[in-house]
């Protein structure tokens, strides 16, 4: 995989995650609320990891893989876990006004923003791993 494709995946993820910093609101609902206070440090760390990957690729690619792996795990525990095992009543209330593919009052199902975020994290992680493995082979 070329570095360009790995960077594209990470920049798209960075742009999507930036929506969490500013919030995207409509009349009666929202894609994502402004969460700079809650998620700002995550954004800064991810931005730093991407910049490190750009400037110091040999170290940056591993930092990026570690960060993306931890981020995906955190997102899984914070969202999908409640879908699988239940017990997400507070999450249902918290994400009440968000846009959803499937709305449920019985079980927490992640909203559109988080479903797309999780897919983008996974795509960026896989592309970074593939790029790292292939670039290691040729160096």
pLDDT in tens, 13-31: 999 999 999 999 999 999 9
Distance from CA of residue 47 to its chain's centroid? 12
Give the closest residue to 76 by CA, choosing from 121, 19, 9: 121
Give the closest residue to 136 by CA, choosing from 61, 72, 37: 61
The answer to whether 13 and 125 have CB atoms below 8 angstroms apart is no
User: Is 100's pLDDT higher than 80?
Assistant: yes
Phi, psi (rounded to 5 degrees) for 31: -75, -45
Of the listed ranges 8-12, 53-57, 80-84, the least confidently predicted one is 80-84
- Give the pLDDT of residue 69: 98
Question: Which residues fall within 8 angstroms of residue 72, CB to CB, at 6 or more apart?
Answer: 118, 121, 122, 125
- Give the pLDDT of residue 139: 52
Q: How confident is the model at residue 1 (pLDDT cuts 50, 70, 90)?
A: confident
Q: What is the mean pLDDT of the chain?
A: 94
Query: What ranges do the domains of the chain cover?
Result: 3-138
The answer to whether 89 and 100 have CB atoms below 8 angstroms apart is no
- Give the pLDDT of residue 138: 58
- Give the pLDDT of residue 18: 98
């Amino acid at each position: 995989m070329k570095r360009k494709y790995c960077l594209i995946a990470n920049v798209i993820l960075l742009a999507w995650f930036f929506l969490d910093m500013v919030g995207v609101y409509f009349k009666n609902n929202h894609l994502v609320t402004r969460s700079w206070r809650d998620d700002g440090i995550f954004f800064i760390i991810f931005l730093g990891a991407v910049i490190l990957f750009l400037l110091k690729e040999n170290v940056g690619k591993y930092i990026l893989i570690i960060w993306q792996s931890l981020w995906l795990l955190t997102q899984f525990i914070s969202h999908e876990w409640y879908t699988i095992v239940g017990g997400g009543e507070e999450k249902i209330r918290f994400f009440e006004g968000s846009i959803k593919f499937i709305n449920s009052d019985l079980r927490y199902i992640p909203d559109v923003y988080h479903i797309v975020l999780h897919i983008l994290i996974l795509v960026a992680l896989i592309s970074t791993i593939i790029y790292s493995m292939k670039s290691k082979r040729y160096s």
